[in-house]
Every structure is written in structure tokens, then in C-alpha cells.
Amino acid sequence: MSSFRLLFVLSAVYPLCAEPAPAGNPEIRPFVRWLLEDGERLEDVRFAEVAEAVSGCQVLPIDTSDPVDAAMVGEVAAALDDLLEVMLDPDNAIHSVGRVNEISRHVEDFLLERLGQGENFACSIPVNASGNVRRSGYPDLRFEHEPSGRVFYIDPKVFREGSERSSFRTFYFEPKGATNKIRDDASHIIVGIAHRGKVEGRWRLEAWKLVDLIDFRVRLKAEFQSSNRELYQESAVLREGRQAR
């Protein structure tokens, strides 16, 4: 799919996501028809194209022969080595969480602090297009080499060791204008942390991987959704019943 075609699709989606469509909106029918007939075109799309269409910012490849890029990659790698060591401490707060999903916040907090300590480096939670700082949503961290202005967007993910070939969906990106957190021409990397579950009451983080998303492929799952508040409106209920006591 071309970048122009993808930008057209995302531009069509934004009005639908931003506010309720009025009754009889003429844009709805052709959009739904497009999803039914041509949705397969969004089955294999470069994430870089999606990010660029949403943000207007370039996704840059990482060049490890470039001194700045090499220094930034090295700083992230050193931070991750420190992470594995620190998380072995039996008194670390990570061991008190019960679910693996809760580990990610501890990883994110550690990297946020550790990556901000290096000379010439800064790490922060990205500010979105509305000027707000939000922890949720992609990406989680903005890592900058201050002298050059070079930026890496970092998104930590914790996965079960050995599950690298799993087809279970683990990456989500919701394109919205107001909450878009991609504000720089930057490289995008996933920090994958492999865990082995809890061993003798302690989480075991075993290894890490840095993944450059420059050629990462994604797909769109088209889905119309609502909530109980919209579903069970009093004006739409035809009849009701209740168990006799």
C-alpha cells in the first residue's frame, strides 16, 4: 500500500473516531464498503508508514556506524544489563506484583530514570499533541541525545521466554490526532524483556532484545464497538423482565 493511500484511509478514520457521526452521514456507507472490499490491503503495512501518516514525522533507521546512534544504542543496552541485575534483588518491588502485565510499569520506570542519568542524554514520557503527558499509549519513552537532538522512541514489552514465535497479538497502535505521542523525526525501538515466570516467589527476567521498527509490519483489525451505556438505552428497550422472588 502506498503512503498516499494509507494517509487517505487514516484521514477518513479520524472524523469517525473523534466524534459521533450524525444520522445519515454520507461518509459512513463508502467507508464500510471499503473495509469489506479492500480491507485486506491493510494486512501487511509498514509501521513506519502508519506512524508517518498519523504524525507527519519521519521514522528513521538506526545506523550503528553513526557515532550518535551507536552511543544511544550502547546506552540503552547498558541500561538493560543494569535492569536484569537490579531486578534480581529479592527486595525489589517487582517481586510483589502478581501478574506479568504489571512488570512492564516497573521496567518502564527503571529505564525512565536510568536513561536520564547519562551525560548528554535525557529520557522522558512523551508529550502528546494536546500538550499533555500520558503514560498510556505508544510510545512509552522518549530518549534524546541532547547535543545532536537525535531521538529514539522506546516501547518496553515483557514476554515469556521462548514465545518469540507466538502469533498472539502483543503490539497495538491506535492512531488518534489529539493523543498522538509521536512528535519528532525519530527511530522507534521495542525493548523486549524475556521472563521465566516466578521462581521461588521472585520474577526472573532472563534476557533482553532491542528491535528496530523501521521495517516492522502491522495490520489493521477493523472493528465497530460500543458500550452498555449505548446498548441499553431506555428509549430502545422494547420489553423487560425480572425473576419473580
**Under 8 Å between Cβ of 49 and 6:** yes
Predicted pLDDT of residue 100: 79
Predicted pLDDT of residue 160: 84
Predicted pLDDT of residue 7: 45
Q: What is the DSSP letter of 101?
A: G
Q: Tell me if the bond preceding 139 is cis, omega within 30° of 0.
A: yes
Q: How many CB atoms lie within 10 A of CB 177?
A: 15
Predicted pLDDT of residue 99: 83
Predicted pLDDT of residue 212: 95
What digits encode the pLDDT tens for the residues 200-244?
888 888 889 999 999 999 887 777 788 888 888 888 888 887 887
Bridge-based pairing of strands 150-160 and 202-212 is unpaired
Predicted pLDDT of residue 243: 82
Predicted pLDDT of residue 32: 77
Contacts for 31 with CB less than 8 Å, ≥ 6 apart: 12, 13, 16
Predicted pLDDT of residue 11: 45
Residues of the chain with CATH 3.40.600: 56-220
Predicted pLDDT of residue 15: 40
Q: Where does 56-220 sit in CATH, by number?
A: 3.40.600
Pairwise CA distance, residues 218 & 46, whole Å: 6
Bridge-based pairing of strands 217-218 and 202-212 is unpaired
Pairwise CA distance, residues 229 & 210, whole Å: 42
Q: Which residues of the chain have pLDDT under 70?
A: 1-24, 37-41
Predicted pLDDT of residue 151: 98
The alpha-carbon radius of gyration of the chain (Å, integer) is 22
Predicted pLDDT of residue 228: 83
